[in-house]
Structure 1
Amino acid sequence: MQAHVGDEIAVHSRHVGEPARHGVITEVRGANGTPPYVVRWQDGTEAVFFPSADCTIACKDGEKAAS
């Protein structure tokens, strides 16, 4: 998975009725756009995040990021 600062990240729920979690990548700490990422979540919290298979990244230019 590769991302850039400003890309949006979504963590999709594995449980029925549980909403997806959305945030914006504010820092990329891995080499060449790889994790970990610092993410500012919709609720205003910010955390270092290692994405899993249930995550998608939407590039700030509108394209889907490479998995």
Structure 2
Amino acid sequence: MQANVGDQLVLRSDSVGKTDRTGEITEIRGPNGAPPYMVRFEDGHQSLIYPGPDCLIRPS
């Protein structure tokens, strides 16, 4: 998985009735755009994310 600062990270919901979470990648800590990523979500929460198979990257 490769990303750039400003791309959107989408965490797919794993349960019926829950919505996907989307956040902006603010920092890339791996080499050459690789994870982990620092992500700021819509509610202002920031988290260091190691994306799994339930994540996708939307280019900015």
Structure 2 gap ranges (5+)? none
The aligned counterpart of 2:52 is 52
Q: Secondary structure, in 3 states, of the residue corresponding to 1:32?
A: helix
Which structure dedicates a bigger proportion of its chain to strand? 2
Please, what TM-score do these two structures have when normalized by structure 1?
Answer: 0.87
Counterpart code for 2:51: P
Tell me the C-alpha RMSD between the 2 structures.
0.5
TM-score w.r.t. the length of structure 2 is 0.96
Gaps of 5+ in 1: 61-67
Number of residue pairs the alignment of both structures matches: 60
Cα displacement string for residues 17-49 of structure 1 (whole angstroms, at most 9, x for unaligned residues): 111011000000000100000000111011111
Percent of aligned pairs with the same amino acid: 48
